[in-house]
Structure 1
């Protein structure tokens, strides 16, 4: 029996489904749409796409179950990054922008600050040696995030090709950046997000934090990667 933290740490689809089915379809759909899934990002960029989230009234239980771990919906990388804002900003969600602003725009409190802090701690466990993304660790900094590995849809059906991802934030004690990495059809080192995308996240995050002169928030300078890291479910 896994608790919620372990479900996230070990990327358990079964555990995720059990949590999702305790929600009504409408509540789940409203959370998807609140964070921006199924809606075109208002960033003034012509390539931004809405993705796809079907109306909740048409959901069958099996569809609600599989959507909880990413099957049956489509989202862009920038939509995923925006969704993680609620964890990094203590539950607050602000509009996206490609230009620097003097003052952050007014946001929307999507989840309670206490919930956001609890989720940050759970997402930190994902990058531990016991999680699915130990290769996302950044020496000197606490980071958190989540792996993703999905089958691609081509011509309306799933094919034996993959998209690997890792989305995370740093420093976990007071997040300054969110980094989202997606690798389309990885061919080297396997196809899991924790193996393919997490190391890219670590490299980008380490360089970005140094460039921003962000003070370290961890005394750990040596990362530990198991010989056989845990792989997330598909």
Structure 2
């Protein structure tokens, strides 16, 4: 199922979904989410990333881009794209300044589809998912782990990785989006669900507490001990 593709972090599933879309459709969604676009943010290090024009895509490139190879993005861009799922399908404009006005954005998905993806992200961070270590006491969370061979020159290193976890909390009415990336994890583990998700959990726990957000879960999450490995 589509839910299972997200929960189990299946590259094969992502590829099969991409085959139901034209290159133009995929490119339009990626672009609407901010990939390949320089963030409108006056801050050092705001980069464009790399998303080639859809007319140049070969079938194999469309397939690999479905699960994250063949394009590049900053961690900031990843976090920004998740606002579309956290904010009823609208991607929120970025700013460094706090505002008392309600957040406004540009519609990318329907509110129903955004809610459906949030549910999938919650499954990915729950029992049977690749991001179980993202769970936190008192708050529901949802997010997606990721692991990729590190790019070196024009290819990918066989023994160097970047691992990340990006998600939001509380899941029904998100208040925060948190993205964590570990560059070349070296403690014997490298999957994003193993090395980045625990950092996400700690940041979410402390941030929501400092913000005074009321817990939406009465009990400690049931973190399953048996790990689920990601495909990448």
* TM-score under structure 1 length normalisation: 0.96
Contact in 1 for aligned 2:131/2:144 (Cα 8 Å) = yes
**Equivalent residue pairs, number:** 231
Question: Matched residues in 1 for 2:56 and 2:178: separation?
Answer: 34
> What per-residue deviation string (whole Å, max 9, x for no partner) do you get for residues 166-197 of structure 1?
00000002100000000000001410000000
Contact in 2 for aligned 1:51/1:75 (Cα 8 Å) = yes
Unaligned runs of 5+ in 2: none
Give secondary structure in 2 for the equivalent of 1:162. Answer: strand
| Alignment partner of 1:186 is 2:185 | yes
CA apart distance, 1:104: 3.9
Structure 1 residues 196 and 232, CA, compared in 2 at 3 Å: closer, same or farther? Answer: same
* TM-score under structure 2 length normalisation: 0.97
Unaligned runs of 5+ in 1: none
Give secondary structure in 2 for the equivalent of 1:169. Answer: strand
Residue matched to 2:169: 170
RMSD, aligned α-carbons: 1.0
Judge which range, 183-192 or 202-211, deviates more.
183-192
Structure 1 residues 137 and 97, CA, compared in 2 at 3 Å: closer, same or farther? Answer: same
CA apart distance, 1:102: 2.2
Residue matched to 1:141: 139
| Alignment partner of 1:33 is 2:31 | yes
CA apart distance, 1:140: 1.1
Residue matched to 1:57: 55
Give secondary structure in 2 for the equivalent of 1:81. Answer: helix
CA apart distance, 1:105: 5.1
Residue matched to 2:43: 45
Residue matched to 1:205: 204
Judge which range, 89-98 or 162-171, deviates more.
89-98
Give secondary structure in 2 for the equivalent of 1:93. Answer: strand
Give secondary structure in 1 for the equivalent of 2:203. Answer: helix
CA apart distance, 1:107: 1.3
Question: Matched residues in 2 for 1:38 and 1:122: separation?
Answer: 25
Of the candidates 115, 134, 138, which is equivalent to residue 113 of structure 2?
115
Residue matched to 2:194: 195
Contact in 2 for aligned 1:139/1:223 (Cα 8 Å) = no
